[in-house]
Structure 1
Amino acid sequence: MPSQTFWAATPPAATGPDPAQLAREAVDKMLLKGPDVNSPKPAPPNGCGKSAKPPAGFGCYTVGVPVWMSLGTSDTTWGPNTASATAGGTTVTATAKVSKVVWTMGDGSTVTCTTPGTPYKASYGTRKSPDCGHQYTQTSQNKKGGTFAVSATSTWDIDWNGGGQQGQLVETRTSQVQVDITELQVVS
């Protein structure tokens, strides 16, 4: 039988797995999380009140004193995180890492950081953070619960390739913490 050539106005439907769909499946395997907020530490359950020292594990902050923001890092909270998905002989590998964290400070301010921040040490005194910090100019006493709701939203940039294709995806994840901002009280 002689061979025949057929020309169609539209290309035939693709066969086999869609690499972009496999990339999404690989991302789902990563179990990406929101930022692991180390600082600012959350307010105590009953607020800071007039306590000179916050209970262990909690943070109380003062108007005008720099707050250092920092995150714990792992493959699910900062990256890099790599996973693959396979179907029909096609494998796609995706790698995700955080490119920035946008902090919404609860007082109307936002701060964008491209690092996980520097953890604060007492020896730093009242210096500002070198890479991720904020300074409150008002107390949180008039806010619901007497605290500012602080959120940190990480942007995950994801590169994938496989099945003869490559691409990029972007995902975001958010974590929240309540912080108590008080005024320094001077007793004479």
Structure 2
Amino acid sequence: MGVTTYNQEFTTTVAPARMFKAFILDSHNLMPKLMPQSIKSIEFIEGDGGVGSIKKTTFHEGTLFLVGSHFKYLKHKIDALDAENCSCKYSLIEGDVLGDKLESISYEVKFESTDGGSVCKMTSHYHTKGDFELKEEDIKDGKDKAMGMYKIVEEYLLANPNVYCEAKCAC
């Protein structure tokens, strides 16, 4: 088994705490509402959202998930969660998105403050089966999907400035 690592960054004018709450902490409620044509449901099948929890995302049959791929479901396990610092680690542990070449994918996500917004720094570790070597073009579709989901959440938060905003939040 080999491991291939890729980094990507997304910037936004939305505060890090709001992005973290929407994109990470409440994604199981928000994503099916924002993408009902693609996501049928997201539910915790183990745990309540804390470390060790397993979340299953089910896609509508016959629909394309954002850009171009037919998937039925996937499962993520939450490996680490630090809401105070807007960071988490989770792993894609099961689902047809892994195909026959990937064992799992682990992600590290951190939202950091910038002048007038935040930057999301994401590191993805692709754990391959056997001696398969993953190239960046092999994961372009997944990176495009991540960016598409990020933009959908960003647009929703910009259109709804009081959503996921607490009194202490610099909204």
Q: TM-score range by the shorter chain?
A: under 0.3
TM-score of the pair, normalised by structure 2 = 0.26
Task: Please say which structure displays the higher CA radius of gyration.
Answer: 1
Using the size of structure 1 for normalisation, the TM-score is 0.24
Higher helix share: 2
